[in-house]
Amino acid sequence: MSSPLVVFVGGVVRTNKVFENLGTACRFILAVSAVTFSPAVVAHGFRQRYDLPIPLGLWVIGAGATIVLSFVIVGLVDHGRRAATPYARINLLRVGLMRGLAHWLPLGAARLLAVVFLVATVLAGFVGDQDPFANLAPVMVWVVWWVGVAFVCALIGDLWALINPFRTIFSWAERIFYCLAKSGQLSLARPYPRKLAMWPAVAGLLIFFWAELIWPDGTVPQLLAFAIVIYALVTWVGMFVYGRDVWLQNADTFSIVFGIMARFAPLELRVANDKALIHSCASPVCRGKTQDCVNGYHCLIRAAPDRWEWNLRPPALGLLNDQRVTFSMMVLVIVLLATVSFDGLLETRLWTHVLDRTLTGEIRSVGSVALVLFSGGFLLIYLFFCALMRQFAKRYGDSSQVDQLKTTLELASLFVLTLVPIAIAYHLAHYVSFLLITGQYAIPLISDPLGHSWDLFGTAHYQVDTDLVSARVAWYLAVSFVVLGHVYAVYLAHVVAGRIFGSGRAAFLSQIPMVLLMVLYTMASLWILAQPMVT
């Protein structure tokens, strides 16, 4: 029987051969792509393209090598330790200034401002100028809300849960109802069906990305306003039937997506040491928890103030909490990852070639089918690599622990949150220039939201600076975001593997398939991001 050292060395040698062959294949693919799909248009709002100081292929291979190196370093430094769920944190509510920011007055002002912007966006869509560049609705929906709020949630904390105007309006209606009826609540408080899980949120996410990427009228202000009203009605009906926070944390697409991104953020809200409250909570955030609830707002509103904590924590460690991830939540994360990549793919010459061979009347159908197939393909690829990971763990790990994982789906659910840093990184890489350049249109439109030549705040004549972010800066930011996101994912996956598979050797070797997946995805991501920016 071979010794563990011989097995390990042999595995490393075989892995090196795999990566050598992979590098050769990637260079070949990139060479063909450079000839076949060389981009001829400038996207992302840049006036000029950026000439890379070294060939794109070397950038891509270097990024992949960085992921492999980070994997090796994590494996060598970790020595088989398992990271516990608790992590170092500082309660900001103990600081006077920060405690003042958590007071009901500034919180109420922020929520009121969000409601004002929501009402202004809907009114602008219905009665304003229908030119997308002269109307507040498109820039508020696609830039300020989807990109800006997502950035804040991922890099600071769950802003959407704090200011969600749909939740605020329903809360006001509840208070009015209580004052008039003197008792009761504005909800039927039906138990949320477990079989329904997060599938409404998955469906909502696919519909949203279809509207963003495929819908040809997605920037028509009136239609955007109509879509907002439909979403509001669905949300309020769900709150009325199941309860305000139960619906938001089980079925509402954006509350869940922004909440998942906020697990990466350095700020958290925590209900500490209240086991009875957490065990009775109807929110999926609390399922499987033993003592504390993090960013579980259904618990927060019911907990005593002395149980509240507003903590500063290390980034990304919120993704390692003890929440049980359901199959529907796993699919949601994969769809999020797939669709942000699909968004980038639509700007490449590859997609242009597809459209050139498509009849004009079929473009929308082709795009819709491609969106679903792309998401389904991501899910199948992820499950395939999870199956490989299980086989590696069985071969090199503690069989008594591995046998507890009955299916590949269970293993995939345990690891899926480690992919969230990649989704955030790609969101940042793809949209940062869009936010900084296109987001400037919000400045004049704040003063003239309806396009009626108003100047309410003196900003109506602001000129958008399209040179604020160059293609060169955007490229270096994109590379940094993508590589850092994958490095975070490598670390988180290794920690989860240590919890599941036990020994450091088993955890390390079990992650080889996952690292291979991340290397391939890093290379593909950088190639996609490079198409509209560089030559």
Looking at the DSSP assignment, which residues form a beta bridge with residue 369? none
pLDDT confidence of residue 168:
95
Q: Find the mean pLDDT for residues 233-253.
A: 93
Residue scoring higher pLDDT (269 or 201): 201
Write down the pLDDT at residue 402: 54
Q: How confident is the model over 272-290, as a mean pLDDT?
A: 66
Report the greatest alpha carbon distance in the chain: 82
Query: Is 182 buried (19+), middle (13-18) or exposed (0-12) by CB count in 10 A?
Result: exposed
With beta carbons less than 8 A apart as the criterion, state whether 214 and 344 touch.
no
What's the rounded mean pLDDT across residues 266-294? Answer: 71
Structure confidence at residue 13 as a pLDDT band (50, 70, 90): very low
Structure tokens that stand for 371 in this block? 């969106």
* Measured CA angle at 206 (ends 140, 533), to 5 deg: 60
Mean pLDDT of 519-525: 86
H or E element at residue 310: strand 308-312
pLDDT at 32 over 60: no
Would you state the pLDDT for residue 322? Answer: 61
Q: What's the pLDDT score for residue 167? A: 95
Q: Which of 58-67, 236-245, 250-259 has the lowest mean pLDDT?
A: 58-67
Percent of the chain with pLDDT over 70: 81
Q: What is the DSSP letter of 440?
A: G
Question: Which pair of tokens denotes residue 283?
Answer: 């929110």
Asked which of 40-54, 189-203, 411-425 is least confident by mean pLDDT, the reply is: 40-54
Q: What is the DSSP string of 347-389?
A: TSHHHHHHHHTS-GGGHHHHHHHHHHHHHHHHHHHHHHHHHHH
Closest-CA residue to 81 (of 507, 514, 509, 515): 507
Q: For the chain, what are the domain ranges?
A: 4-86+323-530, 90-312
Integer Cα distance of 352 and 131 in angstroms: 26
**What's the pLDDT at 36?**
29
Section 116-126 average pLDDT: 95
Beta-carbon-side half-sphere exposure of residue 130 (alpha carbons within 13 Å): 6
Percent of the chain whose pLDDT exceeds 90: 31
Residue 83: is its pLDDT beyond 50?
no
Residue of 130, 134, 126 lying closest to 442 (CA atoms)? 134
The gap from C-alpha 172 to its chain's centroid, in whole angstroms, comes to 30
In the sheet where 308-312 sits, what is the strand order? 90-91, 308-312, 267-271, 293-294
Q: Which residues contact 193 (CB under 8 A, 6 or more apart)?
A: none
Residues contacting 234, CB < 8 A, separation 6+: none
Who wins on pLDDT, 289 or 317?
317
Q: How confident is the model at residue 7 (pLDDT cuts 50, 70, 90)?
A: very low
Higher-scoring residue by pLDDT: 83, 12: 83
Say which range, 123-127, 255-259, 287-291, has the weakest mean pLDDT: 287-291
Q: Pick from 26, 194, 63: which is nearest to 478 by CA? A: 63
Average pLDDT rounded to a whole number, residues 422-446: 90
How far is C-alpha 181 from the chain's CA centre?
A: 41
Strand, coil or helix: 91 = strand
Greater confidence, 31 or 158? 158
Rounded to two decimals, the pTM is 0.84
Torsion angles phi and psi, residue 300, rounded to 5: -60, -40
Output 288 or 387, whichever has higher pLDDT: 387
Among 17-31, 315-329, 361-375, 465-479, the minimum mean pLDDT is found in: 17-31
Q: Tell me, what's the pLDDT at 503?
A: 64
Q: What is the rounded distance in angstroms from the CA atom of residue 412 to the CA atom of residue 133? A: 43
Higher pLDDT pick, 505 / 109: 109
- How far apart are the C-alpha atoms of 364 and 343, rounded to whole Å? 15
Beta bridge mates, 309: 270
Spatial CA neighbour of 527 closest among 68, 50, 29, 25: 29
Query: How high is the mean pLDDT of the chain?
Result: 80
Q: What is the pLDDT of residues 342-356, one digit of tens each?
A: 888 887 777 777 777
Query: What is the end-to-end Cα distance of the chain in Å, rounded?
Result: 53
Q: Pairing state of beta strands 90-91 and 308-312?
A: antiparallel
Higher pLDDT, 305 or 261: 261
Task: Kindly state the average pLDDT of the residues 404-416.
Answer: 82
The pLDDT of residue 16 is 44
Q: What would the mean pLDDT of 236-260 be, rounded to a whole number? A: 93
Residues across the chain: 535
3-state secondary structure of 480: helix
